[in-house]
Amino acid sequence: MFEQIDDFSGLKAVCKYWQTVRAELDAIDQNAFLDWPEKSIYTGDWSVFPFYRFGEKVASTCATCPRTAALIEGIPGMVTAGFSRMSPGTHIQPHSGYTDQVLRFHLGLSGGAECGLRVGDETRGWHPGSAFVFDDTQEHEAWNRGADDRVVLLLDFKRSANTHIAFPDHLRGVGENL
């Protein structure tokens, strides 16, 4: 279910500079986050600050966090990236991703022991600077049972560089007005 980060070029640099990413996260207006549109799969408050949405750059947010944008643009096959924030008490219910043509990367930026992600039968938590890769077509769920926001840099990248991916229409507009 979980993959080795060392197997994917570009991810090491993002992990190495996680504090730079965190500093840019801390500097943005928290009101700039957008509610995740698939409200049927979560309870609580799940929001995103998109940099790339399904292969399309969100210029305004990339300009707000230029060092983060440069790091994610160095990842081969990157198609979707942004900050993903779960407020305390949020639960993203068990679900599966939209395509098996990508893998998902999470870089922990805030949150603690009360936050977790289950993929298949394996559960992991985040702490600032921690990172992992997983196949989101496997059933997974996430939660924040803590007192503070959990924020990760969430990124999808192609398993094979030459793959064409059909993205779901209902998600294409996330961040469109930024």
pLDDT of amino acid 99: 85
Q: In degrees rounded to 5, what are phi and psi of residue 74?
A: -85, 0
| Per-residue three-class SS string for 23-89 | HHHHHCCHHHCEECCCHHHEECCEEEEEEEECCEECHHHHHHCHHHHHHHHCCCCEEEEEEEEECCC
User: Which of 2.60.120.330, 2.10.10.90, 1.10.10.60, 3.30.230.10 is the CATH number of 2-124+132-159?
Assistant: 2.60.120.330
- Rounded to an integer, what distance in angstroms lies between the CA atom of residue 17 and that of residue 152? 14
**What is the rounded distance in angstroms from the CA atom of residue 93 to the CA atom of residue 76?**
30
The DSSP element (H or E) to which 94 belongs, if any, is strand 91-95
Determine the Cα–Cα distance for residues 100 and 39; give it in Å rounded to an integer. Answer: 22
In tens, the pLDDT along 105-156 reads: 999 999 988 999 999 999 999 899 999 999 999 999 999 999 999 999 999 9
Q: What is the pLDDT of residue 97?
A: 87
> If you average pLDDT over residues 27-48, what whole number do you get?
93
pLDDT (0 to 100) of residue 178: 43
Dihedral through CA 114, CA 157, CA 24, CA 108, nearest 10?
Answer: 20
The predicted structure's pLDDT at residue 162: 80
The mean pLDDT value for 42-49 works out to: 96
pLDDT at 176: 54
What tens digit of pLDDT does each residue of 57-96 get?
999 999 999 999 999 999 999 999 999 999 999 999 999 9
pTM over 0.95: no
Domain regions of the chain by residue span: 2-124+132-159
Q: What is the mean pLDDT of residues 149-169?
A: 85
pLDDT, residue 175, reads 47
Q: Which is higher by pLDDT, 105 or 39?
A: 105
